[in-house]
Structure 1
């Protein structure tokens, strides 16, 4: 069986537990193929947790879920050094961060100390407990969810942490037909069992296949122009965005876009990147990295519209 056949089988297994939400599923697969963390934003009940569970089952990966709350401590996530009275020695008790897929549920409800505890592991793939440093297992992926509805006890994620997410996916409601099917299956408890179809070795092969996807130099330069236009809109005849964008996207956005477009092309069964791949991932990569001015936020200017203006202005090679 070819790698593409295995990927098709993986999608089929995930669809047993998740109806619709193709963009969310594709984004999680891109994250797995590129080791990129993903932020999922949507109201409760849109199958965010169900999707992550389905992916972990189909890939036979370790999966852990942390419910973020205002009273959560960093040690609740990464672990702590504890004293063992039986042996009269200190020992390390590892936290739930030591897994393959970590679902950080309602991440914006945790205080700053907990947010910062995630920074090291998201970037360095390692955790420091007391004086000891431990590498996390590979693959390692943080899939965080946040509720867009303002609630008491919610915090804004720091820009430094937001930048460590490859994608910010806005999860929307299912169609009426999909919702009917979900309600029917949930009522009858008739969802099929998800079988393991890939393993870690298969995933590593898929990652290597994605790295080998060809991208033309002109398209690489096009990506760099898109990112640069978010920082210097005047240079691209985007004067209307000068007073709207406060800070543009970081260099990490360029790196993530180079990776994501290759994975997107692979998922579309192409062996080369096209401008369509760039258009498909651009908003997911940029919407949490471009910071608008206070005036723009006061006018409730949509960040996706700002990104669309940049994409429309820069000529496709």
Structure 2
């Protein structure tokens, strides 16, 4: 019995050793790393589409960094970018811009055109050839409660008080439909649709808005033929700026070279050239009958900028 028991125990231990050795071998094996997928190569169709799309894009010359005025451009200042739609008049080759001198500050990212190298400040680029930019002093009342912004259209009203040379107080529209170019330091858009002055941060925009509300000057685009008329109006009475509705689509071309622009000019220019005659032509009957019966009518005598009434 002892020998059989010993042999059975030996067999059992041998089997256990074999199982333990197998289990240890399994645990000692390291997991194999997953194979790295090969990068997906673009298909022939994608390559064809990308090539075709690149051929349809148009090159545009763009500034890499800010360029101060009166500084000739070099190749290091420029780059070519391909756009789906090139802006009208943009330069398409670096040779068209290298060596040329801008007359004003140009910001990085600006696409270049021949207009980029023309002389003139922001106001000169905001008006047309038959217009002039004229600044008018305003306060909160004159400027419609300080709510004017560049791009609004206003009628300029003139109020004349009653005095010796003006027997009856009166008011009239001196010039209608004038475009506001700037309010204080805030300017609108130039003729090419770009902002005349740029703000780089929200803080700058907030400060500019605060200065606009408290502005004391407004710059108007005035037709050349009516410039002296408006200048005279600013000196003889009190002005008001009446804002016109944005729904008037004709405002943008009110003074432009359209068929009815000449009639607008004629109507504005046909009004009284001398503002002190406003009340003289329509004096009330009470004023006209104060004189003695049968008195001869007074004759207006003008000497330079002085006006007097004399009875012959």
TM-score by length of 2: 0.24
Structure with the largest fraction of strand: 2
Structure with the largest fraction of helix: 1
* Larger RCO (CA within 8 A; separation ≥ 6): 1
TM-score by length of 1: 0.23
Structure label with greater radius of gyration: 2
